[in-house]
Amino acid sequence: MSLENDPELTKVRMDFHNTSFVSGGLPGEDRIRLQYFFRERDGHFFAEISTGKYAEGPPGHVHGGAMAGILDEAMGVMVWYNRHPVLTAKLNVDFRKPLPLGLAVVMESRIERIEGRKVYAYGEIRREDTIYASGTGLFVKMPLEKFPEMERAALKRRYRL
């Protein structure tokens, strides 16, 4: 199931994102681990996801807030990586099936459409044909000047802007 072997996908370095509420954390922390991949031909983002005991909600399953956070981050990072600096304006999540802790799953996200400053995205967390959660997001483009000066240069490098 490893995405690393897909020749169309490029592994995305996310070490600069180590303070993220979702994908950050300390080495060895048993919470959420994501490895992102990018497909250049259509701008889709993928992630290999593993979850541990500190992502638990219902006994033995991933917390819904953790799943929503994964979708939000993955869609947002994907939109940024497609050269649109944005902030999340709206996030809708459909929880389709409880996700067992420790189950290796894949997340895919894509841009659905762009209307002026609005970028609409879709993402889903799945394993083979089973979709555990899907979501849509409305992201609003923001000029880089709105971000603190020190971060602008880093943002340009991180997200290919």
**Among all residues, which ones are annotated catalytic?**
72
Give the other-Cβ count within 10 Å of 80's Cβ: 19
CB 56 within 8 A of CB 62: yes
- Is 117 in contact with 140 (CB distance < 8 Å)? yes
As beta bridge partners, residue 95 has: 133
Alpha helices in the chain (DSSP H): 64-81, 149-158
Could you give phi then psi for residue 157, rounded to 5 degrees? -70, -45
Residue 81 vs residues 22, 108, 121: alpha-carbon distances, Å = 17, 14, 13
Q: Which residue is it, tokens 């897909």?
A: 6
Half-sphere exposure of 75 (CA within 13 A, CB side): 30
Of 74, 31, 21, 29, the residue nearest 56 (C-alpha): 31
